[in-house]
Amino acid sequence: MAAYCRVSTDQLEQLLSYEAQVAYYTSYITNHPDYELAGIYADEGISGTNTKKREQFNKMIEDCKAGKIDMIITKSISRFARNTLDTLNYVRQLKELGIGVIFEKENINTLDSKGEVLLTILSSLAQDESRSISENSTWGIRRRFEQGKLHINHTKFLGYDKDEEGNLVINEKQAKIVRRIYKGYLDGKGPNRIARELEEEGIPNWNGKSKWYESSIRKILSNEKYKGDALLQKTYTVDFLTKKRAVNNGEVPMYYVEESHPAIIDKEIWEAVQLEMERRRAFAEKYNISKLDYATVDNPFAGRVICGHCGSAFGRKVWNSTDERLRRVVWRCNKKYEVKGKKSCENKHIDDKVLYHAFVNTFNAMVENKDYFIEKWNEELISENVLVRYRAKQFIEILKDAEKAEAFDIDMYFRIIEKMTVFDGEKIIVSLLDGTEIEVVIE
């Protein structure tokens, strides 16, 4: 005979109950003249609403199938399983193997003729009890949310630890990484490039591994908790048995708690990032660009060169040759040959080198007219738009001590340029991120 024990939480009183169950069944079986102890199978601190995560329970079933057990004793139906379907399925599987289950509290032996009828009724009651417990627990959680009381899981949350009282406290070493990510984004870098740079420098994520993903960078950039607030109940439990969760699209209430914990990111910086994310999304949608944030050091113009004729994006083309000196990188309107072999847009292609020079000329024009630009940006420091204010301050810092550039600066390019609009290989209108447009004549 084997015994199965389980408690549903890891609270002290429950763990003491767990230890008592193990001791009781060990003594009960070993002291009974007709029984031989086949094992005590015990799961602690695990919910009984399904059996997927109960390792000892699953091991016991496998041992039954292997012929190591011919009878199981357990405290009650609710200790065995609170899911009617699971309970009946396992009982029937075991019955086919000639193995009975004794439920002490309900005084049921599943090998008796009346056992399964009683079991079906009592299991249904146990499932209703489980649903009631789940609903009560959910109600209690939502009630705490309404009162502004919250519990935030910090284990996968870069930048925070918890103190002895369970409050979120800033992990300054990790917080520096978070601030770097936000600054990098407002400096024009895409999440993909930010992730790649962190990996190349061996900077660890929350789990200590220097593996970063674009998706995780995006989540960090959009997480309101970094400005000290918390949006609660973003997901909710769909099925109390499987514990399956889903994104909350209004099915249940959400609760927003301001200043619930120390902030790593200033609120204005956080809001500026959200506006910049929306700007990039709208820009990509307008010009039908799928990879605006994928511009790289080797290909900085991806998604940023626009046709002055039809408004489509330009694409990068490489004209190869057996003579490396004749190899050319050019940019051409993506709608030039919308139908294969048939021209659609008449705009001319443009050499890669011309775009590099256009940036240098643009930056130098800004330096030559820095007084005009700085005066313009000083006026924007009082804008109601936080992104406009951030850009104005950023551009003033860039330009106030700047000197003319002699070569292309990739980081400066990403910080100040929104797009380059090409007209017939004759001129380029360079648009800055503050909305300023500067015309560059192609020589």
DSSP 61-92: HHHHHTTS-SEEEES-HHHH-S-HHHHHHHHH
Please state, rounded to an integer, the average pLDDT across all residues of the chain. Answer: 83
**Residue 110 structure tokens:** 């599943």
pLDDT recorded at residue 215: 92
Give the span between the Cα atoms of 111 and 109, in whole angstroms.
5
| Mean pLDDT score, 326-354 | 84
Inter-residue contact 274 to 267 (CB < 8 Å): no
Contacts of residue 412, defined as CB under 8 A and 6 or more positions apart, other chains included, come to 363, 398, 405
Mutual angle of helices 172-186 and 214-222, in 10-degree steps: 90
Q: What b/e sequence results for 186-213 when a residue is b if at least 16 CB atoms lie within 10 Å of its CB, and e otherwise?
A: bebbbbbbbbbebeeeeeebbeeeeebe
Position with higher pLDDT, 51 vs 86: 86
Model confidence band, residue 207 (pLDDT cutoffs 50, 70, 90): confident
Kind of pairing, strands 417-423 and 100-103?
Answer: unpaired
pLDDT above 60 for 149: no
pLDDT recorded at residue 106: 80
Inter-residue contact 122 to 76 (CB < 8 Å): no
pLDDT recorded at residue 12: 43
Q: What is the pTM of this model?
A: 0.65
**How long, in residues, is the chain?**
443
pLDDT above 50 for 138: no
Give the span between the Cα atoms of 320 and 430, in whole angstroms.
28
In the chain the domains, ranked by start, together with CATH numbers, are 2-143 (3.40.50.1390), 160-266 (no CATH), 296-441 (no CATH)
pLDDT above 90 for 297: no
Position with higher pLDDT, 116 vs 280: 280
**Residue 313 structure tokens:** 């994006």
Task: Report percent pLDDT > 90 for the chain.
Answer: 50
**E strand or H helix that includes residue 184:** helix 172-186
Q: Where are the beta strands (DSSP E) in 309-367?
A: 314-319, 328-333, 350-351
| Mean pLDDT score, 82-111 | 82
pLDDT recorded at residue 421: 96
396-423 confidence digits (pLDDT tens): 999 999 999 999 999 999 999 999 999 9
Kind of pairing, strands 314-319 and 328-333?
Answer: antiparallel
